[in-house]
Amino acid sequence: MRRAGLDATIARLRTDPTTLHGRTFDLIVIGGGIHGVAIAREAAVRGATVALLEARDFANGTSSRSSRLIHGGLRYLANLQIGLVREALRERERLLRLAPHLVRPLPMLMPFFRDGGGRRWVNRIGTRVYGWLAGRSTLPGPESLSAKAALQRFPGLRSDGLRSGLLFFDAATQDTRLVLANAVAAARAGALLCNWCEVVGADGDGLRAREVWAGSEVRLRARHVVNAAGPFADPVRQTLGVAGPQLVRRSRGSHVVLAPRPGETALAAFLPDRRIQFVIPHDDGTLCGTTEVDEESGDGDPTVPAADVDYLLQALGFLLAPAPTRADLRFAYSGWRSLPSKNGPAGNLAREASVITERLADGELHTIVGGKLTTHRSLAERLVARLLTDLEPSPTRTQPLPGGDGPRVVQDPLWWRHGCHAIALRAAATAIEDGLEPLCPHRPFLRIEAVYALRELAAVTFADLMLRRLVHSQGPCLQPACLHAAHELFVRHRSWRVDDERARACAAVVDEVRQLSGGIAEGT
């Protein structure tokens, strides 16, 4: 892509796994979600040698299935998780400064209904404490609203029984792009990242890993191995030969997506069952959720059960007028949260990340349990400082994420997806046939964005490109003609010979979307 004029500082993201064979690293990270890539970035920035192994694609699981909030977690105050809230609010402020193209201020309205579950005075005090913990934040403080003012801030809010509202600020993001930005930053700093490279065992000679598509096996070693596999942390421990009780408890969080709505204000509302529900506007869809349901361990990916859809529609019916129906749903997805394996309701378990250290035949394994999208950087700083015995303040405290360190061209939709790299992308498009033309009439992405993802952002499979590089709140367009045109471009510009056959590659995308959405997006 650099031959087409892109900024030469953009590092090629994927390393050929075979080049890792026989090498020793300071740190090996297993897992390419938000915590894995943040830890790889942190260690590489501090000068360590780092390899990251991801069995599938970056952000393939939980890290692309969140509520897409960068927030302190107002509800965690009720559980007296003061330290977590303070840390998250501090990290929220950093991300607003260092990744302005990925993290944006979000006004949030908390409505109070006569038949609702939230208490006005408690939440008013809570938001005041929230603002105090945030310190010198750039975001405005909370504001009490009358019922009339609340309806003006969020048209479509149910007016029947509405007593008042409370306006406060948090921040929103696009979680998959945040993961990729951290991955690019890690690669720029010298980390070697390998997606589609599965760890298959360990012994006295180190770790054994297998490149999924070519089947080649490599051996590599490090004194410290970080298990950042999230809900799959326990299967990774078993693969590495670690015996011990289960560390992770899985909780399923489902979301549904409605059509885009006017305005920027989100809802954060307590329901009669005392659970909080979010309605979050994005340019390409309105994100609604979430559930919190314990789920037994399994090998496959989570899907959205009908019961979760029914619950979310019931919640939306309590909040909105007119109440949405199943026919209004544009997309859905479900993800597993990684929680500590303890007794009690999932909603009451601590969200702070903990690190459990166990012995391997050739070093130590450090397994991350829990954690939040918002605090990925601070977790990485603490863990890497301990492992490398480097207690200096991290450079990542002030380093912008890729795309966040240039001019802000907020009127350019490419800026919101690529930051300052948008300028280079537009310049590079002149070397690509119809580079500035839409890839599909039903989604906003340009052909140059697909080419960039294939050449520089480690999109190995066709599904990598369509689901995790060209990220849209309503999922990829599944119109056959659009999929076929995208696959033609994929074959022309891909970096690895994967997904040659068009019919099979397109069917794989459709199947993955169907599994992800519980069939809600089928046929769109």
CATH of the domain at 386: 3.50.50.60
- Burial class, 303, CB count within 10 angstroms (exposed 0-12 / middle 13-18 / buried 19+): middle
pLDDT of residue 448: 97
- Clarify whether residues 129 and 259 are in a common domain: yes
Q: Which two tokens stand for residue 295?
A: 């789920």
> At 5, is the pLDDT very low, low, confident or very high (cuts 50, 70, 90)?
very low
Domain-ending residue, one of 288, 306, 337: 337
- Which one, of 214, 225, 240, lies nearest residue 18 by Cα? 214
In angstroms, how far is CA 355 from the centroid of its own chain? 20
Domain-ending residue, one of 292, 310, 337: 337
What is the dihedral angle through the alpha carbons of 94, 31, 61, 477, rounded to the nearest 10 degrees? 90
3 state DSSP class of 62: helix
pLDDT of residue 73: 83
Mean pLDDT for the stretch of residues 459-471:
98
| 65 vs 121, more confident | 65
Mean pLDDT for the stretch of residues 492-521:
96
Residue 277, CA distances (Å) to 109, 126, 187, 274, 522 in order: 11, 17, 37, 9, 25
Q: pLDDT (tens digit, 9 = 90+) per residue, 197-238?
A: 999 999 999 999 999 999 999 999 999 999 999 999 999 999
pLDDT of residue 82: 83
Domain contains 491: yes
Find out whether 325 and 295 touch, Cβ atoms under 8 Å.
no
Mean pLDDT for the stretch of residues 505-518:
96
* Across 133-147, 182-196, 320-334, 484-498, least confident range: 133-147
- Count of domains observed in the chain: 3
Residue the block writes with tokens 């520089």: 456
- Clarify whether residues 240 and 257 are in a common domain: no
- Clarify whether residues 159 and 269 are in a common domain: yes
- Clarify whether residues 141 and 198 are in a common domain: no
pLDDT higher than threshold 60 for residue 286: yes
> At 241, is the pLDDT very low, low, confident or very high (cuts 50, 70, 90)?
very high
pLDDT of residue 211: 96
Domain contains 71: no
pLDDT higher than threshold 60 for residue 143: yes
pLDDT higher than threshold 70 for residue 456: yes
- Clarify whether residues 154 and 165 are in a common domain: yes
Domain contains 35: yes
Mean pLDDT for the stretch of residues 125-134:
78
pLDDT of residue 350: 58
Segment (H or E) for 70? strand 69-70
Query: What is the length of the chain?
Result: 524
Q: What is the CATH number of the domain that holds 315?
A: 3.30.9.10
- Clarify whether residues 281 and 165 are in a common domain: yes
User: Cβ atoms within 10 A of the Cβ of 293, count?
Assistant: 16
pLDDT higher than threshold 70 for residue 10: no
Domain contains 222: yes
pLDDT of residue 2: 39
Domain-ending residue, one of 337, 368, 383: 337
- Clarify whether residues 135 and 262 are in a common domain: yes
pLDDT of residue 301: 84
Q: Show the domain range for 256.
A: 106-171+249-337
Terminal Cα distance for the chain, rounded: 32
* Sequence-distant (≥ 6) Cβ neighbours of residue 77 within 8 angstroms: 85, 126, 129, 130
pLDDT higher than threshold 80 for residue 341: yes
Mean pLDDT for the stretch of residues 464-474:
98
- Clarify whether residues 442 and 504 are in a common domain: yes
pLDDT of residue 3: 38
> At 429, is the pLDDT very low, low, confident or very high (cuts 50, 70, 90)?
very high
Q: pLDDT (tens digit, 9 = 90+) per residue, 414-423?
A: 999 999 999 9
Bridge partner residues of 248 (DSSP): 340
pLDDT higher than threshold 50 for residue 8: no
User: Cβ atoms within 10 A of the Cβ of 19, count?
Assistant: 12
- Clarify whether residues 189 and 277 are in a common domain: no
Domain contains 387: yes
Mean pLDDT for the stretch of residues 253-282:
95
b/e code 66-85 from CB counts within 10 Å (16+ = b): bbbbbbbbbbbbeeebeebb
51: left (phi over 0), alpha (psi -120 to 50) or beta: beta
- Clarify whether residues 358 and 474 are in a common domain: no
pLDDT higher than threshold 60 for residue 402: yes
3 state DSSP class of 159: coil
Alpha helices in 23-174 (DSSP H): 34-45, 82-98, 120-134, 147-153
pLDDT higher than threshold 80 for residue 68: yes
- Which one, of 251, 220, 263, lies nearest residue 53 by Cα? 220
Based on DSSP, count helices (H) and strands (E) in the chain, helices before strands.
14, 18
What is the dihedral angle through the alpha carbons of 14, 18, 23, 29, rounded to the nearest 10 degrees? 40
pLDDT of residue 298: 64
Domain contains 361: yes
- Clarify whether residues 329 and 371 are in a common domain: no
pLDDT higher than threshold 70 for residue 318: yes
Find out whether 39 and 234 touch, Cβ atoms under 8 Å.
no
Domain contains 84: no
pLDDT of residue 9: 37
Mean pLDDT for the stretch of residues 243-266:
94
Mean pLDDT score of the chain, rounded to an integer? Answer: 92
Find out whether 358 and 237 touch, Cβ atoms under 8 Å.
yes
- Highest-confidence range of 29-33, 69-73, 350-354, by mean pLDDT? 29-33
pLDDT of residue 130: 79
pLDDT higher than threshold 60 for residue 257: yes
Mean pLDDT for the stretch of residues 296-303:
76
Find out whether 486 and 450 touch, Cβ atoms under 8 Å.
yes
Residue the block writes with tokens 């990485």: 380
Percent of the chain with pLDDT over 90: 81
pLDDT higher than threshold 90 for residue 248: yes
Q: Which two tokens stand for residue 368?
A: 């991350």
pLDDT of residue 210: 98
pLDDT of residue 347: 52
Mean pLDDT for the stretch of residues 474-478:
97
3 state DSSP class of 303: coil
Residue the block writes with tokens 């007028």: 321
- Clarify whether residues 166 and 257 are in a common domain: yes
pLDDT of residue 1: 41
Q: CA-based angle 177:178:180, to the nearest 5?
A: 60
Domain contains 221: yes
* Sequence-distant (≥ 6) Cβ neighbours of residue 378 within 8 angstroms: 87, 90, 91
